[in-house]
Structure 1
Amino acid sequence: MTSNVSTNFLDVISNSPYPVALLDTQLCYITVSQKWKTDFKVGNDFAGKCHPEVFRIEGKEWILDYHQVLGGANRKSEYDLLIFPNGLVHAVRWEMQPWNTISGEIGGVLLYMELAVKKEEREAHADRMLTIYRESNEVARVGAWEVDLIKNEIYWSPVVKQLHGVPSDYVPNLTSGISFFKEGENRDKILNAFVTAVEKGESYSLDLELVTVTGAEMWVRVKGNTERINGRCVRIYGTFQDIQLQKLAQIQLENSELKYRSIIENSLYAFMQTIPEKQITDANQAAMDMFGYTIEELRGMGRGILLDEDDPAMDEFLETRRRVGKASAELTGFRKGGERFPCHISSSIYSDTQGNKINSMIIIDITERQEAEKKIRMSEEQFRGAFEYSAIGMALFNIDGQCKRANQSLCDMLGYTKDELMDIRFIDITFPDDIPRNMELLDELIAGSRDSYHMEKRYLHKSGRPVWVLLGVSILRETNGQPVQLISQIQDITKIKEAEQAMAISEEKYRKIFENTQDIYYRTDQNGIITEISPSIEKYYGDKRENIIGNPAIDFYYFKEDRDRIVDALRQDCSVIDFEVKLKTKNSELRYASVNARLIIEDGQVLGSEGSIRDITFRKIQENELTSLNTELKALNTHREKLLSIVGHDLRNPVAASLKLAELAMMDVEHATKDDLLEYISRMQAGLQNANELLEDLLRWAKNQFDSLDFNPVMIEDVQMQVLTCLKRLRPMAEAKHIELIEQIEEGFKMCADRDMLDTIIRNLVSNAIKFTAAGTVIVAASRRGNDILFSISDTGIGMPESIVSQLWKKSSHYTTYGTMGEKGTGLGLELCLDFVKKHRGRIWAESNPGLGSKFNFTIPINKLS
């Protein structure tokens, strides 16, 4: 308590020549004057003693007076018989009043007590007590004020005048007194409190902002009490205290706390405070969302409920935190439903103001980050495969043109090994005549004026011969746009260029006779009417040139949009090169063509256009066929790899386990009991049954992928019986996990569907429900809904977040995970369900929430399928 008492105030009390004692709020001694010690023979052995227990007043319970003083009142008595500690009784007079701490709060009782003496001496003592009170208030910056409503006079003590910054002879009035309070909320509060005190006699205590004569703003605490006569308020009096320092400290503390709570509560990361090794004391909303508990549930929990104590990284994490005071690690967390998830934890231990150890933790769910890292690794592997085994040359160059990576196709094309190419800049193996154009395009690419470029150029083979290539270059940049490396795709077109060169020689040789036999030369006027065309049009179009001249060029376009595009391009650039369009023959057959054309301009006037047309139909057909073949080939490779993976792992495991059981049974046949053999056989049967079901799924999936699975919808007279038969095969699997299988299908329910496919759909969905349910129920239901029959398989399992549900039906994801007892899936089940439901022209979807189970629904139209 003494930390809240001014040192000067303690000195005044201790050195006072009067019998004065300073008591705390528990009425225990803080200090007493030397006169007190002398008069009441207490010596120095007073610290910590309670005053009412040392001195008693005969026939009076004066503890009530102390409580009233602690509430802010003043109390006194002119004559009381006081029983001293030695048992003697003396007449005393006493006065009590509250004293204020540095922060402005009532800190206890200031007690003046003297042996009864003459009236003159009592008055002198009273004057001296008043002086002591004033001096103590001067130290604490507390002044007194009074408003006499009868005389209409206002009194301000010297301290009050000092706080307002007015001179000692300043005479205040009610209006000027109110005007010192800061305009707005502060002035309104003091005015309302004063009026209420006058009208109703209510006391008040307000913390307000005051504006002094010099314009300085300061916080003061104003207290007011009323004196009423015959129900009328005649006087209001009170204290005026400077609380600027403590108020500013309080505001700063509140702002700091507000900012702290705002940052914590709005953080995307989970935040917790714990008593180390004991319990959680606080957590933000992100922590409650992450772990699935309320704040009441989290408080009192131990670390082992939320974090995996057996995680190998946990011991190192705790040791580092113990040694250094802080630590971070990637650990395993447990959600309320039992779901495990990876998280990154940063922990720091500090001591609060009371010296208690506090552990502050920030927890980040890194599930998505790990998934992203996994996808990046897969993407890198796919890129590496596409890069290394590409049929065309591929290379990575840095911005200076140094080769950093090349595939085998490029090495075979240029005759260098990979190591030799690492020491070569692309400019060193470029044909000299092609360097300027190549550098021009490269500079534009690096500068960002283009995203990529393509060009035909010549490289120099290691042997020195030129190699014609079609070069495509793109650029990889940092997120800030800084170029990192160049990605080059290089296709050997040497044979094509040799053919083109031979063609050019041939065309030059026979130009006058055949007038560009391979291509079609044409010319139009400014209205688009054909004025000239080469004889080769006859082979292309199927009509003689003389029958074509004079007709509009638009008549020969298969699509009018192609004509509009080429006209717009000519108007913008005056020429087009290798402009691909679709033309038609006399018999309206489609022909793909590549057009080179330019506007004929003389004296600024467009007179028409001229150009050449090359038939690229055969090339386009080949390109389309090649694209289709590549797509089919990729699909076949994907199917083959998936089949090999499942056959090599998921199918082999149960067969191998069954063979091992058979081997053990044969080795122990002479000593084994019948029950032992039955155990071996039942386990072999279960393993082989799983293998058989997996094999059936594989066969159905493979047939479905290659469109060789027959779709035979029939009328199923008793759907309930078919579902019960399916559940019977799955019952041992459910009973092993204490799961009850329930069907909710009315008796005599019938529908049209492929019996085997329907059985496969229900079996896979129920198997999955059992797999992801630790204990509880799995319900299979069916009902009519509009024009559909709705099936639903619901469970009480662990459920899934929305991020996983959205991936279930994407064939590219092949999502699979382990069940509650470590069961391994193949990833085929849901794909089969999706394909088979689609064959029935139905729809399949899932509903799930973590910890609340899952529900898979699918529909089959009621109308008879064909």
Structure 2
Amino acid sequence: MVDKEKTIRNRESEFRSLFDDIPLGYQSLGADGRLLEVNKTWLKILGYRKEEVIGRWFGDFLPESERKRFQDRFPLFHVIGDIKNERFEMLRRDGSRLYATFDGCIGRDEKGRFLQTHCIMYDTTEQRRSEEQLRESEERFRTAFEYAAIGMALVGVEGRFLQVNLSLCRMLGYSMQELLETDFQSISHPDDLQLSEECMRQMLEGEVYSVQFEKRYIHKSGHLVWVQLAASLLADSQGKPLYFITQVEDITQRKEAEQKLALLAAALEQTVESIAIIQTNGKIEYVNPAFERINGYKREEVLGKDFRDLKSAHQDDFSYERVWKLLARSEVWTGRTMQRHKNGTLSEVETTISPIRNEMNVVTHYVAIERDVTHERQMERQLRQAQKMEAIGTLAGGIAHDFNNILGAIIGYTEMALLKTPSENNVMRNLEQVLKAGDRAKELVKQILTFSRQKDEGFKPLQVSLIVKEVLKLMRASLPTTIEICQDIPNTSSLIWADPTQIHQVLMNLCTNAAHAMREKRGVLHVSLRDVELDSEAVIRYAGMNPGSYVRLTVQDTGHGMSPAILARAFDPFFTTKCLGEGTGMGLAVVHGIVQSHRGSIHVDSEEGRGTTFHVFLPKFKNKVSNEMGPGFNVLPRGNERILLVDDEAALADTVRQMLEHLGYNVLASTSSQKALEIFRANPDSFDLLITDHTMSRLTGIELAKEVVRIRPGFPIILCSGLGEAIFSENIVKSGIREFLTKPMFMGDLATAVRRALQSGKSPTGDLS
């Protein structure tokens, strides 16, 4: 018995020795969480003596922040049965901290009731610190990655984005999620895919460790983004490729700058102006091909030579010295000189020599630009002629406006007098003649307005060949048999946007002038019509024309022709070579105005004794033709509505008022647009229609309409003017004005327009702003 007890004690001693000396801490907790047992390693780790810890609550050895977590988790151990990888931060006796990890099991009695925990404690402080350092390192990397100023991405070996930063997202216009759901191939320019995939292959096969190249990405909005891409391959410890880490720098601006420089270089080489870059010492550093063409010297003949050695080709000694003094003061010289080509021929050139400064504002070079203006000098005469015609046209338009007001009163009062004159009275015939004369005067004003390009009525898609054939039939009946008519007119021709009456007038005038030039002897009148395409080179010989598609009408005669002096004044108003009573001199002037109003151009070639040729170019009409027809009235419409009439010409206001009252309307007339506005503002519902002149002092018709519609939206308005409708068309559309009347107006036109405007009262009114 004694030996057995001794054996047990020996084993207990051995177990205790093993228990205390193992390098792992041990602890046992009772049901209340108090320490029942610890070994020496546990005490050594925490720096306590055994009597200081047995019976104490385990939470006493934890920081305040950990106690609550232990308190919450310890009851769970009663149920779980196993303790796995439980981590707590603990306090040593000296107050320092350590990290401990616990693994263990639950001890129970024979009935399965909880007795105590048995746990092995590992000091994982160093491991925990290593993990924290790793996390900190990863966090620093992640922060540097995510907030880097350039784009960064981790790309899988198959090309999918694994991780991207904000800069790359902003650069390409995608969100992070959108990029992570795609691969680089789908957003790369197709022409750059082969280069990208070849670089990937080289890294995957170990040929290179990293690559750097330029490529294009497609921004989410569709435009291209040029980037400088640097990529490296990351592999694991066994050398297995993991992913590529790429740095992406946006170089779009740099590439655009390079392209602009390349474009500039190409422009210098291809421009028609001669360009020479000269050093401050006078040595020629660069010349473009145009320099060779204008001066006749090859590039290799002048490079490195002194620019002043060419002075005889530019200007005389005095002028050259003056230019060089200006350049020495860093000033710009511009002038025209006669240029002698290497082969001896002369041409007029416009030269500009300017200093070139560096970023320090120091002159380092001069640039000399020469442009051959020989042809331009020839065109200036034509331009002066066009400007003269424009000035005369403006004057004619002003005269026509005032004359229209006078005619309006004459026609209006005459119509009213006719209404009150018995038909058997001789005065009736005289008044009718006055009215006919007024109508002829109205047509004359139309011609003046046509010449001044202020008239644009009756325009529609027109097939010119029909008009030409009609005119030639009329001319054949009126021309003497000594004049032969030859025509080259296709059965069909392209459409133009034109007024048929005005085109008819153009051809009649040109044919009549041609016939007059051949009246003293036999001759041939040749008229042709062709569709032509004029490119930028073809329009050089026609001033004021743009490249495009045209219909060309040619009228050619074999008459006496014109001298240069007469040719220069051919389109001047009231200029004529005809005898008194044979012509007014307005024919060709009106033709010029009509062609200009149709956005076309007319040109004449003539030589004394060899005839004259007129070329009329009219732009083709390419839009679809509408077949809609406007409504008309077979009888003079009447009404009884109340109308506000405004015209600052007292005579016109009075005659229009009488016309309207004769038609049954109640009319309030005013010669002041401001007073009329005050009347309307005071009682806007008492009127059904506003008729206003456009050109009035202080408040124009458009401005009055604007205020009236603001007060009463949808109110019908008729605008009257003697300058034609075209210049007001845009404002009419915007303001919602229902009708436009050209002065002078006849009672029938006025009655129709008033009725139409009143019946359109439900139409929406546009914005006048």
Instruction: Settle same-fold status: TM greater than 0.5.
Output: no
Q: Which has the higher contact order (CA 8 A, sep 6+)?
A: 2
TM-score, length-scaled by structure 2: 0.33
